[in-house]
């Protein structure tokens, strides 16, 4: 009787041992990705300790659809970029896709077009720009070290040496929010901004975004993407890409877009 009981116990233990890996696989922990971004309202930003914005909410939507957990961090861009290159579980956004970066990441997107615009006030009908050269007589508010500023500098525009200096040139600000406040105070004639940021910052400053009129498009050749580490699991990339496509097809993408970008600013 004792031997029979011992055999039963051994058989049960063996069955548990054989089954446990299967159970472990079926109840495996979800894939966790670490997403790095910078402060670039309204695409990505930190509000009351929460990482939010259009791109951030879109990433959350995609992750939920794909069965992936995403932990987001807002860092200075250089640190975010460096961490994303070194961590195999990393995602970097909102990332402009360029030939120089093509091999550094696996790409999912696009998130949105990147459209840089020179804005004027609606009552400044005297400003009519057919090309960039037409903007040379005007004072232009732009952001330090931004891609748009570098583009203008390559085109021969230079910083205004003093606030009371006469003539046109670049007035360099620390960020888009500061430049919007200066533009409202009529410190300069034209504002350089992403169309997303112009609508968002005008609204936050209590200004009707329709008062900002696009005078000239500086650049619309690129788009924002999610950049995954080259070692990312191809299945995860496929699921995230399908989730993005589904959100665009079923209307959730456009609904989220209108939360951050007003139709009348295009």
- Average pLDDT for residues 127-135, to the nearest whole number? 97
pLDDT band at 124 (very low <50, low <70, confident <90, very high): very high
Same structural domain, 121 and 94: no
Same structural domain, 41 and 169: no
Q: Choose among 188, 202, 204: nearest CA to 120.
A: 188
What integer pLDDT is reported at residue 164 of this predicted model? 61
| Helical pair 54-66 and 252-260, crossing angle rounded to 10 deg | 160
Same structural domain, 217 and 228: no
What is the phi/psi pair of residue 101, to 5°? -95, -10
Same structural domain, 151 and 217: yes
pLDDT above 50 (res 22) = no
Same structural domain, 100 and 228: yes
What is the phi/psi pair of residue 225, to 5°? -135, 170
Contact 198, 209 (CB under 8 A): yes
> What CATH number is given to the structural domain containing 53?
3.40.190.10
Same structural domain, 233 and 212: no
Q: What is the distance of C-alpha 67 from the center of its chain?
A: 21
Same structural domain, 135 and 199: yes
Q: Is residue 38 part of a domain?
A: yes
* Euclidean distance between CA atoms 34 and 45, whole angstroms: 16
pLDDT above 90 (res 129) = yes
Q: Is residue 2 part of a domain?
A: no
Q: Is residue 26 part of a domain?
A: no
Same structural domain, 94 and 121: no
* Residues sharing a CB contact under 8 Å with residue 209, sequence separation 6 or more, in sequence order: 198, 199, 202, 203, 262, 264, 265
* Residues sharing a CB contact under 8 Å with residue 25, sequence separation 6 or more, in sequence order: none
Q: Is residue 19 part of a domain?
A: no
In the chain, the number of structural domains is 2
Query: What's the token pair of residue 56?
Result: 């951030």
Sign of the CA dihedral with 83 first, then 92, 197, and 203 last:
negative
Same structural domain, 135 and 192: yes
What integer pLDDT is reported at residue 147 of this predicted model? 78
* Euclidean distance between CA atoms 238 and 235, whole angstroms: 5
Q: Is residue 8 part of a domain?
A: no
Q: Is residue 22 part of a domain?
A: no
pLDDT above 80 (res 18) = no
Least confident of 50-59, 100-109, 195-204: 195-204
Contact 135, 148 (CB under 8 A): no
- pLDDT tens per residue, range 152-178: 999 999 999 866 667 899 999 988 889
pLDDT band at 7 (very low <50, low <70, confident <90, very high): very low
**How many beta carbons lie within 10 A of that of residue 75, not counting itself?**
16
* Residues sharing a CB contact under 8 Å with residue 22, sequence separation 6 or more, in sequence order: none
Range of the domain at 95: 31-113+222-265
Query: What's the token pair of residue 176?
Result: 């888009």
* Residues sharing a CB contact under 8 Å with residue 82, sequence separation 6 or more, in sequence order: none
* Residues sharing a CB contact under 8 Å with residue 115, sequence separation 6 or more, in sequence order: 194, 195, 217, 219, 220
Same structural domain, 148 and 212: yes
**How many beta carbons lie within 10 A of that of residue 250, not counting itself?**
10
Same structural domain, 131 and 204: yes
pLDDT band at 215 (very low <50, low <70, confident <90, very high): very high
pTM for this entry: 0.74
* Euclidean distance between CA atoms 44 and 52, whole angstroms: 6
Same structural domain, 131 and 256: no
Q: Is residue 155 part of a domain?
A: yes
- pLDDT tens per residue, range 217-266: 999 999 999 999 999 999 999 999 999 999 999 999 999 998 886 543 33
Query: What's the token pair of residue 226?
Result: 């999610």
Query: What's the token pair of residue 190?
Result: 């034209």
Alpha helices by DSSP H, the chain: 2-26, 54-66, 77-86, 147-154, 176-184, 195-204, 234-249, 252-260
């Amino acid at each position: 009787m004792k031997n029979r009981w011992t055999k039963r116990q051994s058989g049960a233990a063996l069955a548990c041992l054989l089954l446990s890996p299967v159970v472990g696989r079926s109840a495996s922990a979800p894939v966790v990705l670490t997403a790095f971004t910078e402060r670039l309202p309204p695409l990505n930003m930190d509000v009351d300790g929460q990482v939010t914005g259009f791109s951030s909410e879109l990433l959350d939507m995609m992750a939920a659809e794909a069965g992936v957990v995403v932990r987001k961090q807002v860092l200075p861009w250089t640190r975010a970029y460096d961490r994303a290159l070194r961590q195999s579980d990393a995602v970097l956004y909102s990332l402009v896709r360029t030939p120089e970066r093509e091999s550094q990441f696996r790409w999912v997107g696009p998130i949105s077009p990147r459209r840089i615009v020179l804005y004027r006030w609606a009552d400044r009908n005297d400003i009519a720009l057919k090309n960039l050269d037409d903007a040379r007589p005007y004072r232009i508010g732009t952001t330090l070290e931004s891609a748009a500023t570098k583009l203008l500098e390559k085109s021969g525009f230079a910083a205004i040496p003093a606030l009371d200096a006469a003539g046109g040139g670049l007035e360099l600000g620390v960020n888009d929010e500061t430049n919007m406040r200066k533009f409202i105070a009529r410190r300069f004639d034209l504002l350089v901004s992403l169309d997303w940021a112009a609508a968002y910052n005008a609204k936050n400053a209590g200004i009707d975004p329709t008062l900002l009129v696009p005078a000239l498009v500086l650049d619309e050749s690129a788009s924002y993407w999610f950049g995954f580490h080259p070692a990312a699991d191809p299945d995860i990339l496929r699921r995230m890409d399908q989730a993005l496509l589904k959100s665009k097809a079923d209307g959730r993408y456009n609904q989220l877009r209108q939360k951050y970008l007003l139709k009348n600013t295009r």
